[in-house]
């Protein structure tokens, strides 16, 4: 192979390596689109199945009526909200938010002392 063949081979590999980030970005977007499509189908399928239960007037796995399910869901929602609020209050009591007045003095100092232009050094 002559010098012109080596030159063309070098240009080919240079173009190949310069296009790799573009190829990887496109493959990553295709991967994300695939994940989105699969998750959308799964969620849509679950919603589609659950949409028929009111028409059936009962929930097949437990064999309870829709009215009973609604009556159970209301207190369970109230309990869930109460648990979330209680857990949040317990967490705040255990780990109080940090305030500037509670921090040690060295944390309030700047990382570097200010530069003094008159002396040409840091204070």
Q: What is the pLDDT of residues 54-84, one digit of tens each?
A: 666 776 667 778 778 778 888 888 999 999 9
Q: What is the mean pLDDT of residues 31-40?
A: 93
- As a whole number, the mean pLDDT across the chain is 79
Instruction: Report the phi/psi class of residue 57: left, alpha or beta, with left for phi > 0 and alpha for psi in -120 to 50.
Output: left
Q: What is the pLDDT of residues 9-23, one digit of tens each?
A: 778 888 888 889 899
Does the pLDDT at position 100 exceed 60?
A: no
Percent of the chain with pLDDT over 70: 74
Question: Which pLDDT belongs to residue 109?
Answer: 66
Handedness of CA 85, 87, 89, 95 (dihedral sign): negative
- Chain centroid offset of residue 92 CA: 24
Does the pLDDT at position 31 exceed 90?
A: yes
Question: Which pLDDT belongs to residue 84?
Answer: 94
How far apart are alpha carbons 87 and 44 in whole angstroms? 32
């Amino acid at each position: 192979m002559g010098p012109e063949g080596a030159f063309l081979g070098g240009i080919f590999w240079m173009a190949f390596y310069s296009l790799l980030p573009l190829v990887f970005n496109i493959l990553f977007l295709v991967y994300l689109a695939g994940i989105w499509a699969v998750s959308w189908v799964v969620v849509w399928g679950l919603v589609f199945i659950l949409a028929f239960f009111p028409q059936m007037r009962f929930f097949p796995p437990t064999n309870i009526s829709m009215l009973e399910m609604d009556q159970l869901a209301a207190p369970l929602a109230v309990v869930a909200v109460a648990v979330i609020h209680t857990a949040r209050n317990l967490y705040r009591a255990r780990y109080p938010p940090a305030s500037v007045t509670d921090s040690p003095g060295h944390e309030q100092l700047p990382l570097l002392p200010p530069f003094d232009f008159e002396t040409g050094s840091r204070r």
